[in-house]
Chain A
Amino acid sequence: MTRIVMLAATALVLMVAAVFFPFLEISAGGMVRRSSLLDAVLAFSTGMMLPLTFAVAALIIVLPVIRLSTIVYALAPMALGWHPAKHAVAAFRVAQALRPWAMAEIFIVGVSVALVKVAGLAKLSFGPAFWTFAVLVLVTVLSDNYMCRLTVWKTLEERRK
């Protein structure tokens, strides 16, 4: 339980760094362009594509953040041996419902495919945010693997008494 909380908290901190630092750097013909995660999100922000911007932002930033914070909120008091916080049950239910929709790890695979596509066109290098995001994905997957849904529900119920 403690391990899951620690990993989820780590992932939250990493997410902040990943959003604001430059993600990838491209240079072609003497021109250099840096883009952050936010730029990738805003790529669809012109005209008809606007709804897709919100979708991508939700899938790779907003939903993972909500999911991680609800996990921390629901599990941290239990990891410390306290009674669960108010609405911990609702929070954990939200975390469960969001699980299929938080797609940060898929985004990483997308980045590698994009790299191969651009390789012929220009020179690419990774920014600091790429590495934080990669670690973030790793940490999220680890905490998901440690978490047993049924055990968490059981503990939540027992501690509430």
Chain B
Amino acid sequence: MSEAHSQPALTARQAGLVGCHSCGRVHEMGTTHCTRCGVVLHSRMPGSLQKVWAWLFAGMVVYIPANIYPMLLTTSLGHTSESTIIGGVIELVEYGSIGVALIVFVASVLIPVGKFVAIGYLALVVRPGSRMTRGSGLHGRQRLFEVVEFIGRWSMIDVFVVAILSALVQLDFAATINPGIAAVSFSLSVAFTMLAAQSFDPRLIWDAEETQAA
């Protein structure tokens, strides 16, 4: 690792080239469309950070009602009970299925919150002129971005659980399960943070190398 850091990497922009973000082909600077896959070329995505912040805040805002309002409405023998995301996890622990409770907790609390923090951190750190730009750890940032991009979609588990339960448990008198409004805002939150991760341009991470070399 230390060897990799001793010499700053050459970015495509410094070499007078522009890489295609879709298929990876490189072109001379100034080419507008990729000759291989036809995508519009940008050396760095315009307005990438603005989009990231916009989607991230949208995701955080809808995550609040997702936790306050009930996710599931269970009617059993004429008696209705509501449970939120956290309530569902606690219920599972009481049943004794710790493993499943852990999966739900990780998917619907740890991953979303972790994603807010990770995307926010990356967007702060790659800002031009940020004091945190210098120094090593660029490989770590790239890996963090890849993990965030890969893991985001797994948060949808809880929404699917609600969908399955409310389709299945419609036993009139004995028990009925209906979806609560939190299901909507939770899935919106997941979608928004996925969009935030997608609008982040990972090439921005490596611009720190450029300033170091200069």
Please, which residues of chain B bring their CB within 8 A of the CB of A89?
Answer: 36-38
Docked-complex contact B168 and A49, CB < 8 angstroms: no
Docked-complex contact B168 and A110, CB < 8 angstroms: no
Interface residues of B in 157-175 (CB under 8 A from A): 157-172, 174-175
Given contacts A26-B171, A43-B179, A113-B100, A153 and B161 within 8 Å (CB-CB): no
B48 within 8 A of A: no
A109 within 8 A of B: yes
Q: Shortest beta-carbon distance, A120 to chain B, in Å? A: 6
Docked-complex contact A90 and B38, CB < 8 angstroms: yes
Given contacts A42-B167, A49-B184, A100-B152, A121 and B161 within 8 Å (CB-CB): no
Interface residues of A in 32-55 (CB under 8 A from B): 33, 35, 39-44, 48-49, 51-52, 55
Q: Shortest beta-carbon distance, B68 to chain A, in Å? A: 16
Given contacts A51-B184, A153-B37, A103 and B23 within 8 Å (CB-CB): no
Please, which residues of chain A bring their CB within 8 A of the CB of B25?
Answer: 153, 157
Please, which residues of chain A bring their CB within 8 A of the CB of B95?
Answer: 116-117, 119-120
Residue of B nearest to A90 (CB): B38
B123 within 8 A of A: no
Docked-complex contact A121 and B169, CB < 8 angstroms: yes
Bound state CA distance, A28 and B95, in angstroms?
A: 19
Docked-complex contact A43 and B163, CB < 8 angstroms: yes
A29 within 8 A of B: yes
B121 within 8 A of A: no
Docked-complex contact B39 and A93, CB < 8 angstroms: yes
B156 within 8 A of A: yes
Q: Shortest beta-carbon distance, B10 to chain A, in Å? A: 20
Q: How large is the interface on A (under 10, 10 to 19, 20 to 34, 35 or more residues)?
A: 35 or more
Given contacts A28-B175, A153-B23, A33 and B168 within 8 Å (CB-CB): yes
Overall SS of chain A's interface: helix
B56 within 8 A of A: no
Docked-complex contact A29 and B198, CB < 8 angstroms: no
A60 within 8 A of B: yes
Docked-complex contact B38 and A43, CB < 8 angstroms: no
Bound state CA distance, A43 and B37, in angstroms?
A: 40
The digit string for B1-43, where 1 denotes a CB below 8 A from any CB of A, is 0000000000000000000001111000000000011110000
Please, which residues of chain A bring their CB within 8 A of the CB of B38?
Answer: 89-90, 93
A141 within 8 A of B: no
Docked-complex contact A149 and B153, CB < 8 angstroms: no
Please, which residues of chain A bring their CB within 8 A of the CB of B24?
Answer: 149-150, 153
29 contacts between A and B (CB under 8 A): A26-B168, A29-B171, A33-B170, A33-B171, A39-B168, A41-B163, A43-B163, A43-B166, A44-B163, A49-B179, A49-B183, A49-B184, A52-B187, A55-B187, A89-B37, A93-B37, A93-B38, A100-B149, A109-B154, A110-B156, A113-B103, A114-B165, A116-B100, A117-B100, A118-B165, A118-B168, A122-B169, A150-B24, A153-B36
